[in-house]
Amino acid sequence: MLDFRKRMRSSARRNQSRVALALDLVGPHENRVSKAIGLLNDLVDKVACVKINQHLILPFGLQGLRELLQICNRKDVPVIADLKLNDVESTNLEAVDTLYKMGVDAVIANPFVGFDEGLGKVIERSRGIGKGVLLLVYMSHRGAKEGYDMKVDRKSLWRIFAQRVRSWNADGAIVSAKSPYRIREVRRMLLEDQLILTPGVGYQGGDAKKALDAGADMVIVGRSVIDSPKPGRALEEFRLLAQVP
């Protein structure tokens, strides 16, 4: 059984892509799942992984996303649930057990909640069955600095979170593409095989090439592809920028 980190890199090599496709669909709820499935049928062989969040999970639940998850599972393209887990241990474990049972491969969690009775057993259980936990280190919206740049004992919170990725042996970090400097610093702090996925590319102004050159492993792309009149062409542009070395 490959661990999550190896599965992610294997998928990237197989599909010659370091793009994580974010299915952050908006618009009429009755159209979202069918649109997501249509996008996946066209693009699943051209991405390293797929990210789903509350845009789909909240209105439809995992049962309603069964076909979407099966498409990814059949192609061995990992699915990441972007729920930013931030609760007590029992609730976090219930969440990941349900997600994994339904075919999700990894979850994004908030390290602020802590290790003991927070995320420690979540990470341990996930790694034991080849699943993944990615920790939120720096977000891509303008207000991110109001939280992640706060100082604790003269150290920025995002640096503390990056250290937790390493010391907790999480599978990787989420770091904004709009801050290549932070990506570079986080890369320096992590273990060699820990992943960096970077959101904020394209629509939010992040530069995919700069993020990857700074040390990101994959770029998370959503609206620039899924809202494009030609999603395949839009994805290919990012795919060329994010070629697998």
In which region does residue 230 sit, left (phi positive, over 0), alpha (psi from -120 to 50) or beta (all else)? Answer: beta
CATH number at residue 140: 3.20.20.70
Q: Which of 84, 121, 209, 210 is catalytic?
A: 84
Task: Give percent of the chain with pLDDT exceeding 70.
Answer: 97
Q: Which are the contacts of 56, defined by CB distance < 8 A and separation ≥ 6? A: 23, 25, 32, 33, 36, 65, 68
Q: Domain of 80?
A: 4-241
Q: Mind giving me the DSSP string for 62-109?
A: HHHTHHHHHHHHHHT--EEEEEEE-S-HHHHHHHHHHHHHTT--EEEE
* Mean pLDDT, the chain, whole residue set: 92
The answer to whether residue 84 is catalytic is yes
Q: Are 192 and 166 contacting, i.e. CB atoms less than 8 angstroms apart?
A: no
Q: Which tens digits make up the pLDDT trace of 95-129?
A: 999 999 999 999 999 999 999 999 999 999 999 99
Please check the confidence at residue 203 and state whether its pLDDT lies above 70.
Answer: no
Q: State the greatest distance between any 2 C-alpha atoms of the chain, in Å, as a whole number.
A: 49
Q: Are 189 and 167 contacting, i.e. CB atoms less than 8 angstroms apart?
A: no
148-157, 170-179, 205-214, range with the lowest pLDDT: 148-157
Q: Are 174 and 198 contacting, i.e. CB atoms less than 8 angstroms apart?
A: yes
Determine phi and psi for 22, rounding to 5 degrees: -95, 115
What was the pLDDT predicted at 4? Answer: 96
- pTM for the model: 0.94
Q: What is the number of structural domains in the chain?
A: 1
